[in-house]
Amino acid sequence: MDVGAVAAALEEARFDARQASRYEDLADDLRGPAELVEWERIAALLAAAGPGAVYDPDVDDVVQAELAADAAAPADAAAAADAAAAAAQEAELREAMRIAARADELQALRDPGTLDQIEPRHHGDEAVRDELTRRAGAYMQPDVDAWLARPLAAHRGHYADPATREGAAGLLHPPVLAHAALLAALTQLVACADVDQLPFAARLAIADSEDAGELAAFLTRAITPGSRA
């Protein structure tokens, strides 16, 4: 483009900018002002180059830098995606290793029957229950389920946190939740009841978790002031 063509384009951009300033709906349009600034920059380049100068985007450092940035953007995005995927995979591996180590710790206590010496204390112990189940090749793990249900009912260990208890509802299996709900209701109903001394609640939850849950809900309504059983 020669000086005349650039001057014509600059004048058109100025005209568009004046028109846009008259309308509220065009006041926030950033494209017009940006085009005006760019044409002013190009006109200044030609003026500095002297008579007979012609604008060539191939030798415009600003344009070439923008093109290079645009070309690099997909590669940068791909690299960022790869890095994010690698980080996610590493985090998943670390979590799997943590679960395996915790499962080993609990199994070492299960073997001599001393699991009750500790209580759930880590976010993710629900996943450890699933790992122990996988290792045993059986769905039911009564001792581990009771180990989780009793602290959940009594709000002990990391289940002292309300948000953790709420999250457990989506992580634990129905028999565990029914067991915990029944224990919580029974200990409210009988002042001297202890969640660690009610083994029949576990048997009810294992036999029929749905009925056990309904019984827990009924007892809770019965002992809650203002509720109708």
Within a domain: 69: no
Per-residue DSSP letter, 139 = S
Judge if 88 and 182 occupy the same domain. yes
Share the mean pLDDT of the chain. Answer: 84
The predicted model gives 207-220 an average pLDDT of 92
| 66, part of any domain | no
Q: For residue 228, tell me if it sits in a domain.
A: no
Q: What is the mean pLDDT of residues 135-151?
A: 87
pLDDT at site 50: 81
Which of 103, 104, 140 shows the shortest CA–CA distance to 124? 103
Residue with the bigger pLDDT between 102 and 123: it is 102
**Same domain membership, residue 183 and residue 79:** yes
For residue 54, the SS3 value is strand
Is residue 154 a part of any domain in this protein? yes
129 and 34 belong to one structural domain: no
The segment with the largest mean pLDDT, out of 30-34, 120-124, 219-223, 224-228, is 219-223
pLDDT at 4: 83
Nearest to 181, CA basis, from 216, 156, 223, 146: 216
Minimum mean pLDDT among 18-22, 66-70, 86-90, 123-127: which range?
18-22
d(CA 46, CA 58): 14
119, 196: one domain: yes
How would residue 225 be classed by pLDDT, with cut points 50, 70 and 90? low
Listed in sequence order, the residues at least 6 apart from 180 whose beta carbon sits closer than 8 Å to its beta carbon are 148, 149, 150, 152, 153, 172
**Residue environment code for 8-45, b if the CB has 16+ CB neighbours within 10 A, otherwise e:** ebbeebeebbeebeeeeeeeeeeebeebbeebeebbeb
The domain in which residue 46 lies consists of 3-55
User: What per-residue confidence (pLDDT) applies to 205?
Assistant: 92
Of 70 and 146, the structure prediction assigns the larger pLDDT to 146
Residues 90 and 130 in one domain: yes
Whether 64 maps to a domain, the answer reads: no
Q: What is the pTM of this model?
A: 0.57
> What percent of the chain stands above pLDDT 90?
23
Indicate if 198 and 116 belong to the same structural domain.
yes
Residue 67 lies in a domain: no
User: Is the domain of 144 the same as that of 219?
Assistant: yes
Domain total in the chain = 2
Same domain for 124 and 172, yes or no, is yes
User: Looking at residue 140, what DSSP letter applies?
Assistant: -
Mean pLDDT for 32-52 is 82
| Alpha-carbon distances, residue 64 vs 32, 35, 101, 130, 208 (angstroms) | 22, 17, 55, 57, 72
